[in-house]
Amino acid sequence: MRITLSSLQKMAQEGDRITMLTCYDASFAALLEEAGVDSLLVGDSLGMVLQGHESTLPVTLRDMVYHVACVARGAKRTFIIGDMPFGTFQLSPQEAFRNAADIMAAGAHMVKIEGGKPMLETIGFLTERGIPVCGHLGLTPQSVHQLGGYRVQGKGDTAAQRMLEEAKTLEQAGAGMIVLEAVPSLLAREITASIKVPTIGIGAGVDCSGQVLVLHDMLDIYPGKKAKFVKNYMRLAGSIQGAVEMYVKEVKARTYPGPEHSFSG
């Protein structure tokens, strides 16, 4: 039976950790599903790990539609989230709907949109029209030039309070899940406790409702610099299947991420 947004939300409410990995093709989709991953994120990180760009900014809607369709052909039970690439959702809710519809038609069950307050109207517009939306707060890679680099976000009382409020308003606007990237662990814990929808952490400590990693990072395939929160499961397990199974086990048991993969405020 297909894992749905409702089943993921129920898992979060019952304290069962959600496992998520990025995925961009059919073979990996089948392998990750077999290894017990709950949800696949067709992230625009594909711009860096597949296409070799320095950032996610050059990724197009066409790229995303192509890779979502590949993943959808390989995953029969897993919940699939497709990233909205840079420039396809910021101008107007109407344009965002048209582009999100293409990603959904390719096989996604939810789209992910980076950003806080400026995205509220768009999140409401999409969810009211049948497209589930995952929010993304903290380090939002599409804004890397505005943020001045890949840095931890939400440090200090003012920034932390702002992110907490944004998470609450994203939920009120209709977001069904929120990714928290590179956020101090205590702030991620407070956000998770303050909203009902699941939080998915990446560099956000162990207390989120679930965890996500970029597949090519945890398998040590990507040659670029690794963030502190990345754990090299390939070195530990020795095979791709073993690495993914170990990740699933550790996320469920809350032994990943450890303090060495987390940030303080």
Residues with a known catalytic role: 181
Nearest residue (CB) to ligand KIV, 46 versus 131? 46
Q: Give the β-pairing of 177-181 and 133-138.
A: parallel
The angle that helices 26-34 and 240-253 make with each other, rounded to 10 degrees, is 50
Maximum pairwise Cα distance, the chain: 47
Nearest residue (CB) to ligand KIV, 158 versus 250? 250
| Residue partners of 225: CB distance under 8 A and separation at least 6 | none
* Cα distance between residue 229 and residue 256, in whole Å: 10
Contacting positions for ligand KIV (CB under 6 A) = 22, 41, 43-45, 83, 179, 181, 202, 212, 214
Contact criterion met (CB below 8 Å) for 250 and 256 = yes
Which three-class secondary structure state does DSSP give residue 28? Answer: helix
- The helix or strand, by DSSP H or E, that contains position 82, with its residue range, turns out to be strand 79-83
Cα 142 to chain centroid, rounded: 13
Nearest residue (CB) to ligand KIV, 47 versus 93? 47
Shortest Cβ 237–ligand KIV spacing (Å): 21
* Cα distance between residue 30 and residue 261, in whole Å: 28
Q: Which residue is nearest to ligand KIV (CB)?
A: 43
Nearest residue (CB) to ligand KIV, 1 versus 223? 223
Nearest residue (CB) to ligand KIV, 35 versus 137? 137
Contact criterion met (CB below 8 Å) for 21 and 32 = yes
Shortest Cβ 256–ligand KIV spacing (Å): 16
Shortest Cβ 212–ligand KIV spacing (Å): 5
Shortest Cβ 1–ligand KIV spacing (Å): 26
* Cα distance between residue 104 and residue 242, in whole Å: 31
CA angle 176, 178, 179 (to 5 degrees): 145
Shortest Cβ 140–ligand KIV spacing (Å): 8
